[in-house]
Structure 1
Amino acid sequence: MQNYKNHAQYYPLHHFVMAPLTLGLFIWSIVRLFSAFGTDEISIALFHFLIALILLILPLLARLYALKNQDRIIRMEMRQRYFELTGKPLRVLEEKLRLSQIIALRFASDEELMGLIDETISKDLRAKEIKMKIKNWQEDKRRV
């Protein structure tokens, strides 16, 4: 059962393989670049540095694109869910909510969602506070 304490997820291939390897390669390329200054190896070291920089940025960009897409989907899911529960559009309240709050609210059950939305707006709760207040947690194991 997912809850506040265990909802954060790590993806081993990304977090424990790809990120450390690309970071290690990047650091190695910087060391190599500095040690190559003033030698004939500078052009090769600079080339390795640029390749390592590109390889460091690529997984970060891929993750950023996925998260931004998921944020848009979550916003649409919450609009639909709010409409199904109230018959009213969420857009009126969206101006009073940050995206992080909307994302946190999606874990709340239908029974507690309206109260949490009102409390979030009136007290300007942070995402962490919202998640900690949820009693009946709705799982989401598909978030990247």
Structure 2
Amino acid sequence: MGTQNYNNHRKFYPPHHFIYLPVLLILEVLGVYKIFKDPEYQTMWILFSIVIFLMFYLALMLRQHYALGLQNRLVRLEFKQRYFELFNKRSDEVEEKLNFGQIAALRFTYDEEFKELLDKALKGNVSGDQIKKSIKKWKPDHHRI
């Protein structure tokens, strides 16, 4: 695997992102096209388009809801563990002052930068995206969903 950084840290699941969703999108466009071009079966094409749209919507929402919900819990747990290892203290008070974007961004730092950027986030209300952009040495995470 190549070196991970801000520009390439997003992850895709090819069967879902590049096959299933594009096929649904093509079918939806076909259904809407046929609604206007095939008046004899217009009701059938309306129903077809509604079903395809619902499949598309559910695929996006369920995937996001389950995978990201679980991943967010793990990110918080990882933050707590890392904070304890570095400072030998519980992170409850610190974690309350950070939003999830900041906590998630700190995952991509090595320990030396973690302390520095955590301090910046606590004092300067730096966004998660700003934290990611200011990382000098990116700590890759190839196990995300």
- For the superposition of Structure 1 and Structure 2, which TM-score range results when normalised by the shorter chain? 0.7 to 0.9
In 2, Cα distance between the equivalents of 1:107 and 1:63?
23
- Write out the 4+ residue segments of structure 1 that deviate beyond 6 Å after TM superposition: none
- The runs of 5 or more residues in structure 1 that have no matched partner are none
Query: What does 1:67-106 correspond to in 2, within 5 Å?
Result: 67-106=68-107
Counterpart residue number, 1:121: 122
Give SS of 2:143's match. coil
Give SS of 1:41's match. helix
Length, aligned pairs only: 142
Tell me the CA shift for residue 114 of structure 1.
Answer: 1.6
Give SS of 2:97's match. coil
Counterpart residue number, 1:63: 63
Q: TM-score, normalised by structure 1?
A: 0.86
Counterpart residue number, 1:27: 29
Give SS of 1:95's match. helix
Is 1:14 paired with 2:2?
no
Counterpart residue number, 2:47: 47
Give SS of 1:47's match. helix
Identity of aligned pairs, percent?
37
Q: Cα RMSD (Å) of the superposition? A: 1.8
In 1, Cα distance between the equivalents of 2:89 and 2:17?
40
Tell me the CA shift for residue 3 of structure 1.
Answer: 1.8
Counterpart residue number, 1:5: 7
- The runs of 5 or more residues in structure 2 that have no matched partner are none
In 1, Cα distance between the equivalents of 2:88 and 2:108?
20
